[in-house]
Amino acid sequence: MIRVELPQHLRTLARVTGEVTVEVASPVTLRSVLDAVEKAYPVLCGTIRDHHTLERRAFLRFFVCSEDWSHESTDKPLPEEIASGKEPLLIVGAIAGG
Amino acid sequence: MSDVRVLVGTKKGGFILSSDGKREKWDISGPHFAGWEIYHMKGSPADPNRLYASQTSGWFGQIIQRSDDGGKSWHQPGSPAGEAPPAGGGPPQGVSNKFVYDTTSADGKPLTTHQWYDGTQHPWEFKRVWHIEPSLTEPDTVYAGIEDAALFRSTDGGITWKELPGLRGNDTGPRWQPGAGGMCLHTVILDPSNPQRIYIAISAAGAFRTDDGGKNWKPINQGLRSQYIPDPNAEVGHCVHHIAMHPQRPNTLFMQKHWDVMRSDNAGDKWHEISGNLPTDFGFVIDVHAHEPETVYVVPIKSDSEHFPLDGKLRVYRSRTGGNEWEALSNGLPQSNCFVNVLRDAMAVDSLDSCGVYFGTTGGQVYASPDAGDNWAPIVHDLPSVLSVEVQTLP
């Protein structure tokens, strides 16, 4: 079970509170986790990754065990702490705007 | 007596303002979609309880919201209104936020690039929906004008969207360029007398018309003159800010351009200036009285570099002669130290016997006049910056 923490606006959109959890077969990667999140919450399609290119949206970042994975390959296996559910994958909105 | 419902899109959410026909006391609901930019909300003329909203964010992209009960509840199309969440708190199923440019060649000539600010070619990139225009007759059919400029249509109530690629495929497409606010398709007008005819406008490309339901388009910018582009009389490249039409005179169009207020009496084939005695002919909004096709409203703004009213006095100008002769309407509007703007989609009229006129400001005020502009009062004055105002006259 993978734990994912979404930004507040996306939790509202998906009508969830707190973390969401998804089941992902090994190997667990950013791509496979995001695929599972979008499958479980279709309204989030296009809000984290571009619909067409599946590239990360510019103002969002991915944090994994206190490390910035925003620019890592989305096919790179995530650490065991994420794959085991010990730690959540953090999807964070950039602090900007007004 | 009829009621009115004013749909207000702001930079931090949507608001619905409701009143009876007297338009003196108002109920305010909102913010809907708090914290998101609501570029536009509009109701279906065929079903007043069917509302559509463009919810957008620089972080999270584009969402289309729909209400089937006049704004009491909302959902992303694809998830039925009022659907109980699945046991365990499952998600809605909406997929309505998918706007993908048509890259096929079968039904148009889709382009991959347009002109950038520096004159180079730049890829078309979807950014947001600026304007939603529901069909006049079919509640499930709705058009979306987007940035970077293109026109999309849904025929299933906003669940899925398909581009009308003939517009971007127009031969002039590589010469379109963004204005300061981006390259947005901000105006969509459906001709009530001819279902095959649609007008659209793009900043900064100009106005276009289709006479075959959206397959083929042609620029309709003859007579426009823009000193700020290399060829002031160019076929495209004009920064049209908004266009308005009276439904009983579908061949007559009124335009607020970057500078100049213009009029066409032949469906846009030829325009002529009607700025007349306006104190400045820069502005964004323009609209037409619900019962008087020759009565037109604008809000003059000082200049393209100073987006606020002249002399700090907020004044609507009205022409009862179809242009050229304008009178200032200021009763009830601030006449000192007012430096707000009124954006292009932020004025609307109701169709009660005494025509109501409404507009919203970047300062968060929404003003209403129940007597065609003679007297004004704020419905609300502390909303987030107003992006759009639409009005429904309810039976």
| Dihedral over Cα of A68, A74, A76, A81: its sign | positive
Which of A10, A38, A51, A57 to probe the B interface (max B CBs under 10 A)?
A: A51
Q: B57 CA to chain A: closest CA distance, Å?
A: 9
For A83, the enclosing helix (H) or strand (E) is helix A80-83
Categorize the per-residue pLDDT at B82 as very low, low, confident or very high, splitting at 50, 70 and 90. Answer: very low
Q: How far apart are the C-alpha atoms of B44 and B33, rounded to whole Å?
A: 20
Burial state string for B48-66 with b = 16 or more CB within 10 A and e = fewer than 16:
bbbbbbbbbbebbbbbbbb
Instruction: Chain A: give the shortest CA distance to residue B330, in Å.
Output: 32
pLDDT (average), residues B77-83: 55
- What residues contact A77, with CB distance under 8 A and at least 6 apart? A27, A28, A29, A83
Highest mean pLDDT among B75-84, B122-131, B161-170, B183-192: B183-192
pLDDT digits (tens, 9 = 90+) for B31-72: 999 999 999 999 999 999 999 999 999 899 999 999 999 999
B97 and A16: CB-CB below 8 Å? no
pLDDT at position B95 is 60
Cis upstream peptide for B77 (omega within 30°): no
Q: What is the pLDDT of residue B3?
A: 96
Q: Which stretch of A12-16, A61-65, B242-246 has the lowest confidence by average pLDDT?
A: A12-16
Supply the pLDDT for residue A97: 56
ipTM for the complex?
0.89
**Range with the lowest mean pLDDT among B73-87, B136-150, B293-307, B338-352?**
B73-87
For chain B, give the mean pLDDT.
Answer: 93
Strands (E), B71-214: 113-115, 121-123, 128-134, 142-147, 150-154, 162-163, 184-190, 198-203, 206-210
**Mean pLDDT estimate for chain A:** 91
Distance of CA B220 to CAs B128, B211, B271, Å? 25, 12, 9
* Token pair of B257 as six digits: 């351009």
Q: What is the pLDDT of residue B87?
A: 54
Contact A42 B62 (CB under 8 A): no
Contacts of B55 (CB under 8 A, 6+ apart): B14, B33, B36, B37, B38, B62, B63, B64, B65
pLDDT at B267: 98
- What number is the average pLDDT over the span A12-22? 91
- Provide CB contacts within 8 A for A35, sequence distance 6+: none
Supply φ then ψ for residue B6, to 5 degrees: -105, 125
pLDDT class for B78, splitting at 50, 70, 90? low
Q: Which residue of A lies nearest to B76 if distances are taken between CA atoms? A: A43
Q: Rounded to an integer, what distance in angstroms lies between the CA atom of residue B359 and that of residue B329?
A: 13
pLDDT of residue B72: 95
Q: For B124, which DSSP code?
A: -
Q: What is the rounded CA–CA span in Å between residue B70 and residue B47?
A: 9
In a mutational test of the A interface, the residue from B33, B36, B59, B93 whose CB has the highest number of chain A CBs within 10 Å is B59
- pLDDT range class, residue B238, cuts 50, 70, 90: very high
pTM here? 0.93
Phi-psi group of B237: left, alpha or beta (phi > 0 → left; psi -120 to 50 → alpha; rest → beta): left
CB contact under 8 Å between B92 and A15, yes or no, is: yes
What integer is the mean pLDDT of B1-8? 93
Residue B109's CB is within 10 A of a number of other CB atoms, namely 13
* pLDDT beyond 70 at B88: no
What's the confidence (pLDDT) of residue B79? 56
Question: Percent of chain B having pLDDT more than 90?
Answer: 81
Q: How far apart are CA A1 and CA A63, in angstroms?
A: 18
State mean pLDDT over B317-343. 98
Residue A65 CA: distances (Å) to CA of A30, A89, B221: 13, 8, 57
Q: Residue B342 in 3-state DSSP? A: coil
**pLDDT recorded at residue B91:** 47
Lowest mean pLDDT among A64-68, B115-119, B331-335: B115-119
For the cut 60, the answer to whether the pLDDT of residue B229 exceeds it is yes
Over 60: is that where the pLDDT of B81 sits?
no
pLDDT at residue number B241 = 97
The radius of gyration of chain A from alpha carbons, rounded to an integer in Å, stands at 12
pLDDT at B7 over 80: yes
Using CB atoms, which residue from B60, B89, B92 is nearest to A47?
B60
Is residue B335 scored above 70 in pLDDT? yes
d(CA B156, CA B154): 6
Q: What is the pLDDT of residue B85?
A: 47
Average pLDDT over residues B356-379: 98
Q: How confident is the model at residue B110 (pLDDT cuts 50, 70, 90)?
A: low
User: Where are any strands of DSSP class E within chain A?
Assistant: 2-5, 20-22, 60-64, 67-68, 89-93
